[in-house]
């Protein structure tokens, strides 16, 4: 559970990650470092399990942020957004996932509007997992700058990234080796291990899990994710390279109007040559049908 209290001295600076952004190799922790094992989150929460190791490596889930498009009934800020990274084989999958998180969105993802609440220069100093709880030690940069919305987002990014694994149910934070119970000058109280449930407010009404940004897709393309929308109705459009709508359809999530359900639909389209395209997933306004909480996924449409 989190609450805001009057700004007080942060109990320690956030302990840093596996070297400067992108500087550390992905691999098992040094001899003597704590072992880590992945964990799971409640089934009611959106989760994309890491794929099994293949000849190309292992694919991990990394959580960033984006600003939903379309009209909104209330003012909203950035929401959580799941991306994927494939890394070389490693037993330290939790460490590898946090390294990818600290590197930030790719150039292509940034163009598509994906961002991160985690400050540049944040380093991973340590990660251990014991009895379902991950303890992540980050450098002091992690607690610097930003208002309360940004602080909640950066906490949520770490929690969602680590709880993709079946053996991680909650996350304890440390800064520069010191346990954190009150985070940043915003005075965010962290009571015990943090879970996905603690950060549900950082989820958008619609979360698209597939396809990913920049994917090459063919018809029919499977569009899937989770949503909490009116009467569980999720609208989907595919736009061609000129921004023209070439397919418009909808599907129904397993739950809606106050609860989050999953959705999946194979959506057909027709183009005469491979081209840049866009998949839009949104809630249609009950008032006038205008798009709300729009998630935009740029892709390449194969003919």
pLDDT of residue 54: 52
Per-10-residue mean pLDDT, the chain, length 303: 39 33 32 38 42 71 91 72 95 97 97 96 97 98 92 97 97 98 93 96 95 97 97 98 98 95 98 98 93 95 97
pLDDT of residue 120: 96
**Phi, psi (deg, nearest 5) at residue 67:** -105, 115
Surface-to-core class of residue 286, CB atoms within 10 Å of its CB (0-12 exposed, 13-18 middle, 19+ buried): exposed
Beta strands 291-301; 216-217: pairing state: parallel
pLDDT of residue 15: 34
SS3 letters across 93-109: HHHHHHHHHHHCCCHHH
pLDDT of residue 46: 43
Cα dist. 106→83, 249, 258 in Å?
10, 30, 33
The Cα 239–Cα 148 span in angstroms is 36
Domains of the chain: 58-202 (no CATH), 206-301 (2.60.40.2550)
CA angle 199, 202, 207 (to 5 degrees): 115
pLDDT of residue 199: 97
The Cα 74–Cα 252 span in angstroms is 23
The Cα 127–Cα 295 span in angstroms is 33
pLDDT of residue 76: 63
Dig out the tokens for 188 from the structure.
């965010």
């Amino acid at each position: 559970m989190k609450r805001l209290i009057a700004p007080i001295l942060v109990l320690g600076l956030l302990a840093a990650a596996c070297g400067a952004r992108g500087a550390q190799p992905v691999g098992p922790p040094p001899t003597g470092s704590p072992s880590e094992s992945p964990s799971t989150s409640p089934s009611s929460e959106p989760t994309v399990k890491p794929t099994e190791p293949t000849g190309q490596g292992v694919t991990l889930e990394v959580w960033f942020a984006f600003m939903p498009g379309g009209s909104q009934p209330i003012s909203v800020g950035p929401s959580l957004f799941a991306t994927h990274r494939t890394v070389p084989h490693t037993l330290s999958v939790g460490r590898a996932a946090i390294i990818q998180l600290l590197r930030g969105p790719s150039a292509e993802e940034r163009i598509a509007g994906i961002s991160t609440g985690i400050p540049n220069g944040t380093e991973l100093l340590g990660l251990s997992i014991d009895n379902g709880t991950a303890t992540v030690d980050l450098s002091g940069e992690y607690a610097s700058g930003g208002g309360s919305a940004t602080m909640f987002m950066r906490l949520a990014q770490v929690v969602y990234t680590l709880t993709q694994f079946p053996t991680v149910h909650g996350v304890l934070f440390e800064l520069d080796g010191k346990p954190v119970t009150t985070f940043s000058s915003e005075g965010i109280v962290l009571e015990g291990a943090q879970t996905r449930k603690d950060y549900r407010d950082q989820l958008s009404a619609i979360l698209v899990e597939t396809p990913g940004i920049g994917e090459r897709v063919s018809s029919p393309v499977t569009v899937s994710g989770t949503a909490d929308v009116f009467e569980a109705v999720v609208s989907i459009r595919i736009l061609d390279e000129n921004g023209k709508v070439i397919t418009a359809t909808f599907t129904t999530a397993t739950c809606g109007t106050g609860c989050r359900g999953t959705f999946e639909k194979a959506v057909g389209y027709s183009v005469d040559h491979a081209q840049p395209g866009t998949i839009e997933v949104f809630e249609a306004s009950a008032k006038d049908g205008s798009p709300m909480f729009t998630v935009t996924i740029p892709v390449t449409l194969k003919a």
